[in-house]
Protein backbone atom coordinates (compact mmCIF):
# COMPACT_ATOMS: atom_id res chain seq x y z
CA UNK A 1 0.00 0.00 0.00
CA UNK A 2 1.44 3.36 -1.03
CA UNK A 3 2.30 5.71 1.83
CA UNK A 4 0.69 9.15 1.88
CA UNK A 5 2.67 12.39 2.34
CA UNK A 6 0.54 13.38 5.31
CA UNK A 7 -2.07 11.93 7.61
CA UNK A 8 -4.98 13.37 9.59
CA UNK A 9 -4.68 13.27 13.39
CA UNK A 10 -6.75 14.44 16.33
CA UNK A 11 -5.26 16.41 19.19
CA UNK A 12 -6.19 18.61 22.14
CA UNK A 13 -5.72 22.33 21.65
CA UNK A 14 -5.43 25.00 24.34
CA UNK A 15 -6.59 28.42 23.15
CA UNK A 16 -8.29 31.45 24.71
CA UNK A 17 -8.01 29.91 28.18
CA UNK A 18 -9.87 26.71 27.28
CA UNK A 19 -9.29 23.19 25.93
CA UNK A 20 -10.88 21.90 22.75
CA UNK A 21 -10.67 18.90 20.44
CA UNK A 22 -9.19 19.58 17.03
CA UNK A 23 -7.72 17.80 14.01
CA UNK A 24 -5.32 18.59 11.19
CA UNK A 25 -2.91 17.07 8.72
CA UNK A 26 0.57 16.10 9.92
CA UNK A 27 3.49 15.53 7.56
CA UNK A 28 4.55 11.89 7.21
CA UNK A 29 8.05 10.90 8.25
CA UNK A 30 8.79 7.47 6.78
CA UNK A 31 11.74 5.13 6.68
CA UNK A 32 12.36 4.06 3.08
CA UNK A 33 15.16 1.62 2.33
CA UNK A 34 17.47 1.80 -0.68
CA UNK A 35 18.88 -1.38 -2.20
CA UNK A 36 21.43 -1.22 -5.01
CA UNK A 37 22.11 -4.29 -7.16
CA UNK A 38 20.35 -6.44 -4.58
CA UNK A 39 22.36 -5.14 -1.60
CA UNK A 40 20.81 -3.05 1.16
CA UNK A 41 22.57 0.33 1.37
CA UNK A 42 20.70 2.61 3.76
CA UNK A 43 17.35 3.97 4.90
CA UNK A 44 16.06 7.42 3.98
CA UNK A 45 14.05 9.27 6.61
CA UNK A 46 11.81 11.18 4.27
CA UNK A 47 8.39 12.24 3.04
CA UNK A 48 7.31 9.29 0.86
CA UNK A 49 6.78 11.19 -2.41
CA UNK A 50 8.92 11.32 -5.57
CA UNK A 51 10.80 8.29 -4.24
CA UNK A 52 12.24 7.27 -7.61
CA UNK A 53 13.67 10.77 -8.00
CA UNK A 54 15.02 10.62 -4.44
CA UNK A 55 16.87 7.35 -5.08
CA UNK A 56 18.32 8.35 -8.46
CA UNK A 57 19.22 11.84 -7.26
CA UNK A 58 20.93 10.50 -4.15
CA UNK A 59 23.03 8.07 -6.21
CA UNK A 60 23.95 10.89 -8.60
CA UNK A 61 24.83 13.37 -5.84
CA UNK A 62 26.95 10.70 -4.17
CA UNK A 63 28.84 10.14 -7.44
CA UNK A 64 27.65 6.53 -7.78
CA UNK A 65 26.07 7.23 -11.19
CA UNK A 66 26.68 9.94 -13.77
CA UNK A 67 23.55 9.54 -15.94
CA UNK A 68 20.14 7.92 -15.67
CA UNK A 69 21.15 5.53 -18.46
CA UNK A 70 23.13 3.58 -15.86
CA UNK A 71 19.86 2.62 -14.14
CA UNK A 72 18.65 -0.69 -15.56
CA UNK A 73 15.67 -1.30 -13.26
CA UNK A 74 14.07 0.77 -10.51
CA UNK A 75 11.30 -0.93 -8.58
CA UNK A 76 9.55 0.39 -5.45
CA UNK A 77 8.06 -2.23 -3.14
CA UNK A 78 4.27 -2.46 -2.99
CA UNK A 79 4.09 -0.98 0.50
CA UNK A 80 6.47 1.85 -0.45
CA UNK A 81 9.05 1.13 2.24
CA UNK A 82 11.93 0.13 -0.05
CA UNK A 83 13.36 1.02 -3.45
CA UNK A 84 15.28 -1.57 -5.45
CA UNK A 85 17.71 -0.02 -7.95
CA UNK A 86 19.63 -2.21 -10.37
CA UNK A 87 22.47 -0.62 -12.33
CA UNK A 88 23.95 -1.88 -15.60
CA UNK A 89 27.35 -2.13 -13.91
CA UNK A 90 28.77 -3.29 -10.62
CA UNK A 91 29.29 -0.76 -7.86
CA UNK A 92 30.89 -0.99 -4.46
CA UNK A 93 28.86 0.02 -1.45
CA UNK A 94 30.57 2.87 0.45
CA UNK A 95 32.50 1.52 3.38
CA UNK A 96 31.37 4.27 5.72
CA UNK A 97 28.40 6.60 5.86
CA UNK A 98 28.76 9.94 7.59
CA UNK A 99 25.81 11.42 9.46
CA UNK A 100 25.28 14.99 8.29
CA UNK A 101 23.63 17.99 9.92
CA UNK A 102 20.60 17.60 7.66
CA UNK A 103 17.06 17.27 8.97
CA UNK A 104 16.02 13.73 9.95
CA UNK A 105 19.67 12.63 10.09
CA UNK A 106 20.90 12.75 6.51
CA UNK A 107 23.85 10.63 5.43
CA UNK A 108 26.59 10.88 2.85
CA UNK A 109 29.60 8.71 2.15
CA UNK A 110 33.15 9.60 3.06
CA UNK A 111 33.99 9.26 -0.64
CA UNK A 112 31.41 11.91 -1.56
CA UNK A 113 32.72 14.29 1.11
CA UNK A 114 36.24 14.01 -0.29
CA UNK A 115 35.25 14.32 -3.96
CA UNK A 116 36.59 17.31 -5.87
CA UNK A 117 33.87 19.17 -7.76
CA UNK A 118 34.39 21.44 -10.78
CA UNK A 119 34.34 25.20 -10.38
CA UNK A 120 31.10 26.84 -11.50
CA UNK A 121 31.60 29.38 -14.28
CA UNK A 122 30.72 33.01 -13.57
CA UNK A 123 27.59 34.34 -15.28
CA UNK A 124 25.97 37.66 -14.41
CA UNK A 125 22.50 37.45 -12.87
CA UNK A 126 20.18 40.35 -11.92
CA UNK A 127 19.60 40.55 -8.18
CA UNK A 128 15.89 41.11 -8.82
CA UNK A 129 15.70 37.69 -10.48
CA UNK A 130 17.25 36.12 -7.41
CA UNK A 131 14.88 37.84 -4.98
CA UNK A 132 11.76 37.15 -7.05
CA UNK A 133 12.71 33.47 -7.18
CA UNK A 134 12.08 33.27 -3.43
CA UNK A 135 8.51 34.46 -4.04
CA UNK A 136 8.10 31.75 -6.66
CA UNK A 137 9.37 29.18 -4.17
CA UNK A 138 6.72 30.19 -1.63
CA UNK A 139 4.01 30.13 -4.31
CA UNK A 140 4.88 26.50 -5.14
CA UNK A 141 4.85 25.10 -1.59
CA UNK A 142 1.75 22.97 -2.14
CA UNK A 143 2.36 20.41 0.62
CA UNK A 144 3.51 23.12 3.03
CA UNK A 145 0.21 24.96 2.56
CA UNK A 146 -1.64 21.76 3.44
CA UNK A 147 0.17 20.71 6.62
CA UNK A 148 3.29 22.87 7.27
CA UNK A 149 6.39 21.20 8.71
CA UNK A 150 8.04 20.51 5.35
CA UNK A 151 10.88 21.99 3.28
CA UNK A 152 10.67 23.01 -0.37
CA UNK A 153 13.36 23.58 -3.01
CA UNK A 154 13.19 24.60 -6.66
CA UNK A 155 15.63 24.47 -9.56
CA UNK A 156 15.23 27.43 -11.90
CA UNK A 157 17.01 29.01 -14.84
CA UNK A 158 15.84 32.42 -13.67
CA UNK A 159 12.80 32.39 -15.94
CA UNK A 160 10.98 29.12 -15.31
CA UNK A 161 10.97 26.42 -12.66
CA UNK A 162 12.74 23.33 -13.99
CA UNK A 163 12.08 21.05 -11.00
CA UNK A 164 10.65 21.30 -7.51
CA UNK A 165 10.42 19.02 -4.49
CA UNK A 166 9.07 19.03 -0.95
CA UNK A 167 10.24 16.82 1.90
CA UNK A 168 10.58 16.75 5.67
CA UNK A 169 14.36 16.67 5.09
CA UNK A 170 15.90 19.68 3.37
CA UNK A 171 18.74 17.58 1.93
CA UNK A 172 16.16 15.16 0.49
CA UNK A 173 14.64 17.99 -1.56
CA UNK A 174 17.95 18.49 -3.39
CA UNK A 175 18.34 14.76 -4.03
CA UNK A 176 14.80 14.70 -5.43
CA UNK A 177 15.57 17.67 -7.69
CA UNK A 178 18.71 15.96 -8.95
CA UNK A 179 16.66 12.83 -9.64
CA UNK A 180 13.96 14.77 -11.49
CA UNK A 181 16.63 16.45 -13.61
CA UNK A 182 18.04 13.04 -14.59
CA UNK A 183 14.72 11.25 -15.09
CA UNK A 184 13.26 14.10 -17.17
CA UNK A 185 16.60 14.69 -18.91
CA UNK A 186 16.65 18.40 -18.19
CA UNK A 187 19.52 19.77 -20.32
CA UNK A 188 22.51 21.58 -18.78
CA UNK A 189 22.28 25.34 -18.62
CA UNK A 190 21.95 28.25 -16.27
CA UNK A 191 20.93 26.87 -12.87
CA UNK A 192 19.91 28.44 -9.58
CA UNK A 193 18.62 26.50 -6.56
CA UNK A 194 16.28 28.17 -4.09
CA UNK A 195 15.39 26.47 -0.82
CA UNK A 196 13.64 27.02 2.49
CA UNK A 197 16.31 25.03 4.33
CA UNK A 198 19.50 26.05 6.08
CA UNK A 199 22.56 25.65 3.86
CA UNK A 200 25.01 23.21 5.42
CA UNK A 201 28.03 21.63 3.77
CA UNK A 202 26.15 18.68 2.26
CA UNK A 203 23.52 21.03 0.81
CA UNK A 204 26.27 23.07 -0.83
CA UNK A 205 27.94 19.95 -2.24
CA UNK A 206 24.67 18.70 -3.73
CA UNK A 207 24.09 22.09 -5.37
CA UNK A 208 27.63 22.08 -6.76
CA UNK A 209 27.16 18.56 -8.11
CA UNK A 210 24.10 19.81 -10.02
CA UNK A 211 26.03 22.73 -11.48
CA UNK A 212 24.10 25.47 -9.70
CA UNK A 213 25.88 28.83 -9.94
CA UNK A 214 23.65 30.40 -7.28
CA UNK A 215 22.23 28.85 -4.10
CA UNK A 216 19.58 30.85 -2.26
CA UNK A 217 17.98 30.20 1.13
CA UNK A 218 15.41 31.98 3.26
CA UNK A 219 17.65 31.22 6.26
CA UNK A 220 21.35 30.94 7.08
CA UNK A 221 24.40 29.11 5.72
CA UNK A 222 26.95 27.33 7.89
CA UNK A 223 30.62 28.28 8.10
CA UNK A 224 31.68 25.20 6.13
CA UNK A 225 29.14 25.85 3.37
CA UNK A 226 30.58 29.36 2.95
CA UNK A 227 34.08 27.92 2.61
CA UNK A 228 32.92 25.39 0.01
CA UNK A 229 30.92 28.00 -1.93
CA UNK A 230 34.01 30.19 -2.15
CA UNK A 231 36.05 27.21 -3.34
CA UNK A 232 33.54 26.03 -5.95
CA UNK A 233 32.66 29.48 -7.31
CA UNK A 234 29.05 29.43 -6.10
CA UNK A 235 27.20 32.59 -5.12
CA UNK A 236 25.75 31.72 -1.70
CA UNK A 237 22.81 33.82 -0.50
CA UNK A 238 20.97 33.66 2.81
CA UNK A 239 18.04 35.37 4.49
CA UNK A 240 16.53 36.19 1.10
CA UNK A 241 13.37 38.28 1.25
CA UNK A 242 11.43 40.32 -1.28
CA UNK A 243 13.81 43.29 -1.20
CA UNK A 244 16.91 42.15 0.71
CA UNK A 245 19.39 39.31 1.17
CA UNK A 246 22.85 38.50 2.50
CA UNK A 247 25.44 37.52 -0.11
CA UNK A 248 28.23 35.49 1.47
CA UNK A 249 30.35 34.53 -1.56
CA UNK A 250 30.96 35.73 -5.11
CA UNK A 251 28.74 38.85 -5.13
CA UNK A 252 30.40 39.83 -8.42
CA UNK A 253 27.95 37.49 -10.18
CA UNK A 254 24.99 39.73 -9.22
CA UNK A 255 23.98 42.93 -10.98
CA UNK A 256 21.70 45.73 -9.73
CA UNK A 257 19.10 47.84 -11.60
CA UNK A 258 21.55 50.78 -11.50
CA UNK A 259 24.12 48.69 -13.35
CA UNK A 260 21.55 47.71 -15.98
CA UNK A 261 20.75 51.39 -16.57
CA UNK A 262 24.46 52.23 -16.86
CA UNK A 263 24.99 49.39 -19.34
CA UNK A 264 22.05 50.65 -21.41
CA UNK A 265 23.55 54.15 -21.49
CA UNK A 266 26.94 52.79 -22.57
CA UNK A 267 25.37 50.78 -25.36
CA UNK A 268 23.41 53.84 -26.50
CA UNK A 269 26.56 55.99 -26.56
CA UNK A 270 28.48 53.38 -28.52
CA UNK A 271 25.66 53.09 -31.04
CA UNK A 272 25.46 56.86 -31.54
CA UNK A 273 29.22 57.07 -32.11
CA UNK A 274 28.98 54.47 -34.86
Q: What is the DSSP letter of 212?
A: -
Give the pLDDT of residue 273: 54
* CA separation for the pair 127, 225 (Å, rounded): 21
Position 80 confidence tier, pLDDT thresholds 50, 70, 90: confident
pLDDT for 105-163, tens place per residue? Answer: 455 555 555 555 556 666 789 999 999 999 999 998 988 888 888 999 999 999 999 99
Sign of CA dihedral 108, 112, 191, 88: negative
User: Could you give the CA distance from residue 257 to residue 263 in angstroms, rounded to a whole number?
Assistant: 10
List the domains of the chain with CATH numbers: 30-114 (3.10.20.10), 125-258 (3.40.140.10)
Q: Is 32 helix (H, G, I), strand (E, B) or coil?
A: strand
Do 246 and 239 touch, CB atoms closer than 8 A? yes
Which pLDDT does position 259 carry in this prediction?
A: 63
Residue 185 neighbours by CB distance under 10 Å: 9
Gap between the Cα atoms of 77 and 33, Å rounded: 10
Q: In the chain, how many H helices and how many E strands?
A: 8, 16
User: Which of 229-240 are b and which e, b meaning 16 or more Cβ less than 10 Å from the residue's Cβ?
Assistant: beebbbbbbbeb
Share of the chain above pLDDT 70, in %: 84
Residue 53 pLDDT > 90, yes or no? yes
Q: Which residues does 116 contact at the CB level (< 8 Å), separation at least 6?
A: none
Kindly report the pTM of this predicted structure.
Answer: 0.85
Amino acid sequence: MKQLPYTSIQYTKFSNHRWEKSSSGIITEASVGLSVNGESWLNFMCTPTQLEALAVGFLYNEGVIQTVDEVEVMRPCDNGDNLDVWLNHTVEKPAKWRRTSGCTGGVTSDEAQQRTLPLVTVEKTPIDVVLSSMDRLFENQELYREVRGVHCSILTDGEKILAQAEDIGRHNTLDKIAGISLLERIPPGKRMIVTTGRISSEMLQKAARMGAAILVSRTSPSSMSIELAEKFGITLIGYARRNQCNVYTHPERLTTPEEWALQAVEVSVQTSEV
